Structure 1
Amino acid sequence: MASTAPPILPISTAQSGSAAATSTQSQPPIATPAFRALIAHLSDSVCNGFSQRRPWAELVDRSAFSKPECLSDATIRIRKNYSYFRVNYLSILAVVLAFSLLTNPFSLLILLGLLASWIFLYLFRPSDQPLVIFGRTFSDRETLGILVVLSVFVIFLTNVGSVLISALMVGAALICAHGAFRVPEDLFLDEQEPAATGFLSFLSGTASNAAAATAPAVAARV
């Protein structure tokens, strides 16, 4: 007797496959940690800045030094040399600051502790995890206020502030002395680079990249 059962039709997996692909595409990508993004931005900014530095042999060319005729001549020289050697000058300032901190390890440890407090207690701490110290829970606003007060105390009421100011003054004096005695007539700025940018433009670029990296973490707490 012949079987009257209907033939078994093959089940198409196209719909299931498309549904799986849709669910896979709908899943949000894994977010890069804010701290890693900040480090990446800072690293890119520093590498980009150092790629724009001038040759150090050109900076210390003894044949290009002469005494300025007057104060206005020295001011013009400093401004032109700032525009040309801004990355080199920033490197010198960083070396002086680093040397000053290394010779004062206590101040260096305090600064590192303050930086770590800002990073791990506020900037990159998950917003759903409140800060608990000695059994007391602190809100984000209270944590921010404590960190601001702590920063003011560390910088202005300890020897850390005097170390930083002294190092910056020494570095600025070295830069001004070199800029005043270095004759800038043989220096030519790139056409795409404006003469009045100043060597602090590298700092502004780094700061903007760092702000862009930390903006999501800070915005989540506002």
Structure 2
Amino acid sequence: MASPPPTLPISNQQGAQSQPPIATPAFRMFISRLSSSIREGFSQRRPWSEVVDRSSFSRPDSLSDAFSRIRKNLPYFKVNYVATVSLVLALSLLTHPFSLLVLLGLLGAWMFLYLFRPSDQPLVIFGRTFSDRETLLALVVTTIVVVFMTSVGSLLTSALMIGVGIVCVHGAFKVPDDLFLDDQEPASTGLLSFLGGSATSAASAVAGRV
């Protein structure tokens, strides 16, 4: 009796082709740098008990004295100040869910459709293929409309102004006591360095596609 023919292995080509385009090395590197920079940045924060120590607050003698305190306190409490502004932005967005969803959708569109989409995979929507220039133009126009022509832009501006105002008031009334000289660190480390690095990386990605 003849034995049945051996079963040939069938590769799942459809599963390989359905791999999401966002799973690219550039995106994984971005997430890795983001997480490591956040951890490093928060490790450099000052104790919040020191930030809100009431015994070290006093009214500045003059406007120049206030600016001098702000200039000294900014590099010392930089991570705490960034966290404060971020908290104000987060609270503002959480109280306006529609604006939060719009911003998340806009961020997702930039990431999925342009920044981390492989250049060898054209964007096809409703059977029409869009070039990188057309995609970039559409995203830029959408961003301008969302930020400058809706309530989202005014919400972000108001939250940033409140956050910066809190930072300036704290920096003006907080007596430095030369603490900023004890442990000076380069301004381009940790969380702040990632902000500059990510902006440079995004600009490079856009310049490379145009």
TM-score, with normalisation over the residues of structure 1?
0.77
Query: Which range is displaced more, 173-182 or 185-194?
Result: 185-194
Indicate how the Cα distance of structure 1 residues 189 and 51 shifts in structure 2: closer, same or farther if over 3 A, else same. Answer: farther
Structure whose alpha-carbon radius of gyration is higher: 1
1:206 aligned onto 2:191: no
Partners of 2:178 and 2:53 in 1: CA distance: 11
Unaligned runs of 5+ in 2: 1-22
Query: How does 1:161-200 map onto structure 2 within 5 Å?
Result: 161-190=153-182, 193=185, 197=187
Specify the alignment match of 1:9 in structure 2.
Answer: none
Indicate how the Cα distance of structure 1 residues 211 and 115 shifts in structure 2: closer, same or farther if over 3 A, else same. Answer: same
Cα deviations by residue, 1:69-104 (Å, 9 ceiling, x for unpaired): 111111111111112111111110010010001101
Aligned-residue CA RMSD (Å) = 2.4
Report how many residues are paired: 188
Aligned residue identity for 2:194: T
1:70 aligned onto 2:72: no
TM-score, with normalisation over the residues of structure 2?
0.81
Specify the alignment match of 1:113 in structure 2.
Answer: 105
Runs ≥4 residues deviating over 4 A: 200-204, 211-220
Specify the alignment match of 1:127 in structure 2.
Answer: 119
The question of whether the paired residues in 1 share the 8 Å contact of 2:38 and 2:191 is answered with no
The question of whether the paired residues in 1 share the 8 Å contact of 2:42 and 2:191 is answered with no
Specify the alignment match of 1:34 in structure 2.
Answer: 26
Partners of 1:130 and 1:86 in 2: CA distance: 42
Q: Secondary structure at the match of 1:137?
A: strand
Specify the alignment match of 2:128 in structure 1.
Answer: 136
